[in-house]
Structure 1
Amino acid sequence: MNLNEATNENLAYILKEIASQLRVVNESIMDPDDYNLEKYDDLKALYDVLIQKGQLSVSETQAFIQELSSIRK
């Protein structure tokens, strides 16, 4: 899978992985239909940071979720 390509499949994968890493309880907020494919690069950048860091502090998690909400439709 090449995550550098902005496809709906990659978008869904990235959102699923972000939800898993952040231990999101309500995964409906991570519905791919709620995110515009035009914002794929922003989501991919967040995903890359999350994968690189492995674990986020509480304040980093809050900032991360806030950034996700700004990308959401």
Structure 2
Amino acid sequence: MSQANNSQAQVEAMIEDIKGRLKMATAAAMQASAFSVEQYDDIKDIHDIVMSKSNFSISEMEALVSELGKLRRS
């Protein structure tokens, strides 16, 4: 997907979807604005995984949150 068609608003909306679906206890610490449109494709991949499943094991949640943490801007 071309980054030219992606926006910061789309990235932030995907992060909010992920936080909602995972019911993250640390959701407040993971601000959507901390993610860059430059990571759109990686965030989209995580978003697609999260939205495709209804339940997650603890290890799956930890892995997803870990991946999101790696994508956050410092």
* TM score, norm. by length of structure 1: 0.82
The aligned residue for residue 60 of structure 1 is 60
Helix, strand or coil for the counterpart of 1:56? coil
Name the residue aligned to 2:24: 24
Matched residues, number = 69
What are structure 1's unaligned runs of at least 5 residues? none
| Contact map agreement 2:8 2:36 (CA 8 A) in 1 | no
Whether contact under 8 Å (1:6, 1:41) holds in the other structure is no
TM-score (normalizing by structure 2)? 0.81
CA RMSD after TM alignment: 1.3
Q: Give runs of ≥4 in structure 1 deviating > 6 Å.
A: none
Give ranges in structure 2 of 5+ residues lacking alignment.
Answer: none
Equivalence for 2:43: 43
Identity across the alignment (%):
25
SS in 1 for 2:6: coil
